[in-house]
Amino acid sequence: MLDIHSHKHFGEEVIHNISPKEWNSFYERYPQQRFSVGIHPWHIQQKYLKEELSLLSDIVAHKQVFAVGETGLDKHCGVSLDLQMKSLETHVELSENNAKPLILHCVAAYNELQLLKRRLQPTQHWILHGFRGNRILAQQLLSDGFYFSIGWNFNVETIKMLPDDKLYFETDEADVSVEEVYAKAMTCRK
């Protein structure tokens, strides 16, 4: 079973998330590993953003890069939303140009994310990682074509209504296997 987003686990069925600055060291140690590479909104620094985005654009075409991100919007992280949006839009462009899905982090900015998706009309999957939102929010996001990645902690009512074809599973930073996450989620979907 595929673990779509992990910071801890490695293996054939794991997409390990790293930043562009980590690419060389991780790829050197794990050349067969699949990765998602992106700039997390918490780690955006204006003075380094242009350089990091340039580095990211050089990396994403690599065959071991499965997805672009983790990127996104977070109104609680202390980085200006304008700067986060600039980074996110570049990630979207790289996702589209390289035909790779986008892994998204979102905190208190779903409206902005939905408006961006409607404006850009991307063809690649936009996957909301670690989604814990309620049924109403999930339904709104489904109507805009979002996909969902569920980790160890999730909203039970939401997991019951998400369609199988819009659902992924992840371990993120948890010390559990993706099979354990899946089993926990499936007991709630019965």
Task: Read off the CATH number of the domain in which 137 is found.
Answer: 3.20.20.140
The rounded distance, in Å, linking the Cα atoms of 177 and 152 is: 9
Looking at the structure of the chain, the number of domains it has is 1
pLDDT of residue 67: 98
| Residue 131 pLDDT | 98
State how far the Cα of 34 lies from the Cα of 66, in Å rounded to an integer.
Answer: 6
Name residue 62's amino acid. Answer: H
Query: Is 88 in contact with 72 (CB distance < 8 Å)?
Result: yes
What pLDDT sits at residue 109? 98
The reported pLDDT for the residue numbered 104 is 98
pTM: 0.96
pLDDT at 190: 75
Tens-binned pLDDT, residue by residue, of the chain (190 aa):
999 999 999 999 999 999 999 999 999 999 999 999 999 999 999 999 999 999 999 999 999 999 999 999 999 999 999 999 999 999 999 999 999 999 999 999 999 999 999 999 999 999 999 999 999 999 999 999 999 999 999 999 999 999 999 999 999 999 999 999 999 999 998 7
Contact 102, 73 (CB under 8 A): no
Structure tokens at 94: 């790289």
Work out the angle at residue 50's Cα, subtended by the Cα atoms of residues 30 and 24, and round it to the nearest 5 degrees: 15
| pLDDT of 188 | 92
> Which residue range(s) make up the domain with 20?
3-189
Q: Are 102 and 67 in contact (CB under 8 A)?
A: yes
In the chain, the DSSP E strands lie at 3-6, 14-18, 34-37, 65-74, 102-107, 126-128, 147-150, 167-169
- Give pLDDT, residue 31: 96
Which pLDDT score is estimated for 175? Answer: 95
Distance of CA 158 to the CA centre of its chain: 19
